[in-house]
Structure 1
Amino acid sequence: MKSPADYSLLIKEKAKELGFMHCGISKAGFLEEEAPRLEKWLKSGFHGEMGYMENHFDKRLDPTKLVPGAKSVVSLTYNYFPKQQQREDSFKISKYAYGKDYHFIIKDKLKEFFQWIHQEIGEIDGRVFVDSAPVLERAWAAKSGIGWIGKNANLLTKQVGSFYFLSELIIDLELAPDGPTTDHCGKCTACIDACPTQAIESERVINGSKCISYATIELKNQIPSSFNNHMEDWMFGCDICQDVCPWNRFSKPHQQPEFMANDAILNYSKKEWTELTQELFSEIFRKSPVKRTKYAGLMRNIEKLNQSRS
């Protein structure tokens, strides 16, 4: 019978084979340090209209309540940094949304991973997660040593920066846990200084209701006037706090064909985006994360940007 350390090694080797950049392991249990932070963040109203963030408070902090019998959290990262980026004089889309929706692509890999665990290790119970359930992904990834949570509240890794997706396997198999790494932000405040809406309230605390990503994706009503002239041409999401992070100079282009951007995303001008039709929207963003904002939402964002320019 193999030891928890043996199983951990097997799982990490398989993660690499499936194309994941990093694999870190934590013992499943209550995230004691995160509880007061989450409670304070919610009480401050920093989640804006994201009411779902108030749900399942206990499950967010303790995966054993989400997956009964869970013993280990396997945290994984998957690169999405693009080789090509949009033309300079365009309305901008966050890099994570250049290609097909990551939820489906990574979930398929996790299902394959889980099936492999069943075949190679045994009848293990658990669940797979890709940004779709009450899991504090960054906290678990940091606990497993993949990286540290930076001042912009993103997970940062020295070798590759932060342009990657997070996902998890929460399983009832005991594994050898990894320890956390150290913080390497130092005195740098590049992300705080660069945020045009001052959404970074303090180190690692984001006021979501001030964030351009929130305004262009999560917000269903009209974008408040406080965003006027501060959206920096972002029509879906925002990468500013990542683009200015010194650690992202180490980002390397992904090798996933499904994440490749189509020509329209890379080459459309502001005029072409302004004249976008529902038919073209459906064609360009078929199976894309941008579908989440819908045609009406994207055109609302573009209209707001054009108002700022006039």
Structure 2
Amino acid sequence: MLNNHKNTLFIKAEAKRLGFLSCGISKAGFLEEEAPRLEAYLNRNFNGKMHYMENNFDKRLNPVLLVDDAKSVISLLLNYYPDNQQVSNTYKISKYAYGQDYHFVIKEKLKELLHSIQTEIGHVSGRAFVDSAPVLEKAWAAKSGLGWMGKSANLITQKVGSFYFIAELIVDLELDYDHAVTDHCGSCTACIDACPTEAIVAPYVVDGSKCISYFTIELKDSIPVDMKGKMDDWIFGCDVCQDVCPWNRFSKPHKEPLFNPNPGILSFTKKEWQDITTETFEKVFKNSAVKRTKREGLQRNISFVQIK
């Protein structure tokens, strides 16, 4: 047990050194409370055309099926709240996409953290996950005491709000485990009231198939006509539920240089967004998450939000 404690302190100190906002640890095992929620979500088709969410149901709920002999889930938060934001009266993209694609930035940090663990502690097997495998990140982060699941279904913390990425290391190492924190949403319904497409259908329940992020990023077909006039000028993702959350008054600018935006992203006018060439798109969004939509997808989104 003494070793568990020492190893836990080492891992949390390393996470801090690598720039993570916080680190929480849970015992790996079946997410009993999440199973009925996930089942209900899929049964109500809240995943829309995101059919991949129907795959690996068991793996999503049990990390032991992802990593042999998994003992611990190490959850980590990395701040992305920007120092500067886009000019007003322009087409909007989510703040998380201002800088370099977070998948690559965080993967490198996780690799380094795992390497440090293996160097310091000895033979430890593990896998890093960043939003690209069947892992319920928010559930694990909440279970590990890093925040609570808000009414917007975002993970929220009292100290810094919700503008951060969540990642995990699942390892075959026993550690000290953290405990969940209490919910501090209270009677607030700011996120529910502000959602432009009414995607938050009940407190803590989001219909993903009605979310602006889904329409502008995940959906490859045409955006449904009944969404005309409801997109609020968002062309890649949406931050509305986070922008109105009172806890985000405590957001502090990140210190990760790779998340600093290309100046063009912040200063583009509507006309410049409309006229973006393939060359400009490739240059401005070279290492950005925005590349997921390709230029054609971005143009589709711009054309759609222009129609009021």
What interval of TM-score do these two structures reach, taking the shorter chain for normalisation? over 0.9
SS at match of 1:141: helix
Structure 2 CA distance for aligned equivalents of residues 263 and 3 of structure 1: 48
Q: For 2:35 and 2:226, how far apart are their aligned partners in 1?
A: 31
- Structure 1 match to 2:176: 176
Paired residues for 1:67-106 under 5 Å? 67-106=67-106
**AA at the equivalent of 1:233:** D
- Which amino acid is 2:118 matched to? H
Q: Deviations over 1:117-174 (max 9, x none)?
A: 1100011011011111000000000000000000000000000000000000000000
1:204 CA displacement: 1.4
Counterpart in the other structure of 2:187: 187
Question: What stretches of structure 1 move > 4 A for 4+ residues in a row?
Answer: none
Cα displacement (A) at 1:299: 0.3
Q: Does 1:215 align with 2:215?
A: yes
What SS does the aligned partner of 2:307 have? Answer: helix
Equivalence map 1:18-97=2 (5 Å) = 18-97=18-97
Counterparts of 1:86-165 in structure 2 under 5 Å?
Answer: 86-165=86-165
Q: CA RMSD in A?
A: 0.8
1:302 aligned to 2:302? yes
Q: 1:253 aligns to what?
A: 253
Deviation at 1:211, TM superposition (A): 0.3
The 2-side partners of 1:67 and 1:2 are apart by 25
What residue number does 2:244 align with? Answer: 244
User: SS at the partner of 1:3?
Assistant: helix
- In structure 2, distance between residues paired with 1:279 and 1:118: 43
Deviation string, structure 1 residues 226-280 (Cα, Å, up to 9, x no partner): 2100000101000000000000000000011110111111001001101111111
Whichever residue aligns with residue 104 of structure 1, its letter is: F
Deviation at 1:34, TM superposition (A): 0.2
* One-letter amino acid of the structure 2 residue matched with residue 58 of structure 1: D
Displacement after TM superposition at 1:37 (Å): 0.3
Give the Å deviation of 1:6.
1.6
Counterpart CA distance in 1 for 2:212 and 2:223 is 10
Distance in 1 (CA, whole Å) between partners of 2:49 and 2:231 is 19
Whether 2:200 is the aligned partner of 1:200: answer yes
Q: Under a length normalisation based on structure 1, what TM-score does the superposition of the two structures give?
A: 0.98
The answer for unaligned runs of 5 or more in structure 2 is: none
What TM-score does the superposition give when structure 2 sets the normalisation length?
0.99
Percentage of matched positions with identical amino acids: 62
Aligned to 1:232: 232
Q: What residue ranges of structure 1 are gaps of 5+ in the alignment?
A: none
CA distance in 2, matches of 1:274, 1:223: 18
Displacement, 1:2?
4.5
CA distance in 1: counterparts of 2:263 and 2:251, whole angstroms = 22
Shift of 1:23: 0.2
- Cα distance in 2 for partners of 1:23, 1:230 equals 37
1:276 matched to which residue of 2? 276
Deviations 1:63-112 (A, max 9, x none): 00011100000000000000000000110010000000000011000000
Could you tell me how far 1:303 is from its partner in structure 2?
Answer: 0.4
Question: Alpha-carbon deviations, 1:272-303, whole Å to 9, x = none?
Answer: 10111111111110010000011110000000
Provide the C-alpha distance between the structure 2 equivalents of 1:65 and 1:249, rounded to a whole number of angstroms.
39
SS in structure 1 at match of 2:64? helix
Aligned residues: 308
- Give the letter for the 1:95 counterpart: K
Query: In 1, Cα distance between the equivalents of 2:186 and 2:152?
Result: 13
The whole-number CA distance in structure 2 between the counterparts of 1:3 and 1:114 is 17
Alpha-carbon offset, residue 3 of structure 1 = 2.1
